[in-house]
Structure 1
């Protein structure tokens, strides 16, 4: 029989997927009795899972004892992108100088131009995008940089926010980043990553400015 902590970890993983994929919507109240019954567990391991999700900033307190799914507004997304630009651009530049043959092979496998007439699989591309950005930060071999990336839960935010721009707009960006890294051109790799993330940030900034103008 699994212990409460083990059940809690399993529940955390399941609930995390539900939040990332929108099955638990932003702002939605967490009804603990319903979730516990749905998952076939008691309230004790569910509370373990909820506290793990709270630590990851995926849910937040509601009233005194409840929780709701955290909503990420456009202002927060801009702040997240500011952090990503600083960390991921630096990571790309570092990785260009110290990648291994195995890492080079992995980088080459991430993205490929679609064949003529073939549409990009959006969900598959979204998953690859998340893996690609995490890979660059993880493999740059700067432990402090990766620690900051993890402590800020940036990979979780990447998953939750999803694609800001469609694959047809970002594929070439990704290929340019890979090419610069494989050329061991740290300056070009850093510049390519910064350009890629800045263009996505600008989309959110324009959306935020439009909303502000609509309200004035």
Structure 2
């Protein structure tokens, strides 16, 4: 296997292993051992571990060493419930405030999706466009932390449950239709349901680990 060459690649590799259950809760993440495994110095490994800690996937254990954090169903539910409410608020505000050009861009994001395209990236760009379209910097700031902490799990729903891609696409199309129609209440309700569906998939993932 080709060794990752940067902190971002180490982060992606470790996040995938944690979410998929290949690194069990409580498993030690020693910087020296990981640096040797990935063929890197300890600096990018430390950066990757600090980012994982910011996402809530790892924590400091005995002697301040990093260990894999146990993510309970309740912890994930609370995270996604909070995220869903803020995302719904953004979608409703975006329906009222997005310009015609911004809605056209949202449409291009969806129609640019297809074979060979990383759907997780499409999902990120779709949600980012709605957050920007809400035109509220305070709300965007509140979402930044929750989005960072939830992103590994949101991406995992597509890599571990391929069928979720099709349902997510359909949910995105319905949200776009509501935004285009300037129906703020419907856009918010659809986004709330969309995030609820994501949570359901994530809970299925951890139940089978």
TM category (shorter chain) comes to: 0.7 to 0.9
Task: Give the distance between the partners of 1:46 and 1:169, measured in 2 at CA.
Answer: 36
Deviations 1:160-201 (CA, angstroms, capped at 9, x unpaired): 342276123232211000111122221221121122223444
- Show the counterpart of 1:157: 150
Question: Does 1:19 pair with 2:18?
Answer: no
Displacement of 1:11 in angstroms is 4.8
Deviations 1:1-39 (CA, angstroms, capped at 9, x unpaired): xxxxxxxxx854233212333377353421211222334
Residues 91 and 140 in structure 1, CA contact (< 8 A), matched pair in contact too: yes
- Show the counterpart of 1:5: none
Residues 12 and 52 in structure 1, CA contact (< 8 A), matched pair in contact too: no
RMSD, aligned CA: 3.2
Displacement of 1:101 in angstroms is 3.6
- Show the counterpart of 1:170: 168
Displacement of 1:121 in angstroms is 5.4
Unmatched segments (≥5 aa) in structure 1: 1-9, 115-119, 212-216
Question: Does 1:85 pair with 2:78?
Answer: no
Give the alignment of 1:1-216 within 5 angstroms: 11-22=6-17, 25-27=23-25, 28-37=27-36, 38-41=38-41, 43=42, 46-112=45-111, 124-152=118-146, 154-161=147-154, 162-163=156-157, 166-202=164-200
Q: How many pairs does the alignment contain?
A: 192
Structure number with larger C-alpha Rg: 1
Unmatched segments (≥5 aa) in structure 2: none
